[in-house]
Amino acid sequence: MKPIRRQRLILIVLMVAGIGAGVGFALKSFNENLMYFFSTTDVLAGKAPPDRLFRLGGMVVKGSVQRPGDGLTVHFKLTDYSKEVAVEYTGILPDLFREGQGIVANGKLDGRGVFVADEVLAKHDENYMPPEVKASLKKQAAGKPVE
C-alpha cells in the first residue's frame, strides 16, 4: 500500500473509532446516567432501585454528622428540604464535605432504610465570593427579624 493511502486509511479508522466511542459514551450516559442522582424524596417514594447501586444527592443536614468510634466511619442525614435519608460512609471525604453542603453519594439501601455509601462526592453550588462577604451576608441574615 502507498504510504499516503495507508495514512488516509489510519485516519479514517481513527475517526470511525473516535465517533464510535463518542456515540458509545453518549448512549451509556444517556441510558443509565441521564439523571446523575436521585433525590431523597425519590428514595422514600420508592423510585430508587432497591438492591442495586445508585446515587443519592442532597444537602447534609446541619448537626447530623456523627463519627461513632474512632475510625473513618461517618453517619449523617441528607435532605432535599422535604424528606431526610440517613447515610453511612467509611472512607475519606472530599474537602468540600461539610454540614449544609450538597453532596452526591454512591451506594445502596440496606434493610433498615439506611443508605450505605461506597463513595461520597461533594457538589458545590454556583456561588463564588470572598469569605468576608459571606460573613457579612450571614450577619445580615441573622440581624433580620424572623418573618
Q: Tell me, residue by residue from 7 to 26, as one string, x for binding to other proteins by CB under 8 A and - for no binding.
A: -x--xx-xx--xx-xx--xx
Using CA atoms, how far apart are residues 45 and 124, in angstroms rounded to an integer?
Answer: 26
6 is a site residue for other proteins (CB under 8 A): no
**Judging by beta carbons within 10 Å of its beta carbon (0-12, 13-18, 19+), is residue 44 exposed, middle or buried?**
middle
Contact 104, 119 (CB under 8 A): no
Distance of CA 55 to the CA centre of its chain: 7
The least distance separating other proteins from the CB of residue 21, rounded to whole angstroms, comes to: 7
Long-range Cβ contacts of 63-68 (<8 Å, 24+ apart) = 63/99, 64/99, 65/99
45 is a site residue for other proteins (CB under 8 A): no
Residue-level length of the chain: 147
Q: Which of 6, 33, 49, 90 binds other proteins (CB under 8 A)?
A: 33
88 is a site residue for other proteins (CB under 8 A): no
CB nearer to other proteins: give 55 or 111. 55
Binding-site ranges for other proteins (CB under 8 A): 8, 11-12, 14-15, 18-19, 21-22, 25-26, 28-29, 33-37, 39, 57, 93-97, 101, 104, 119-134
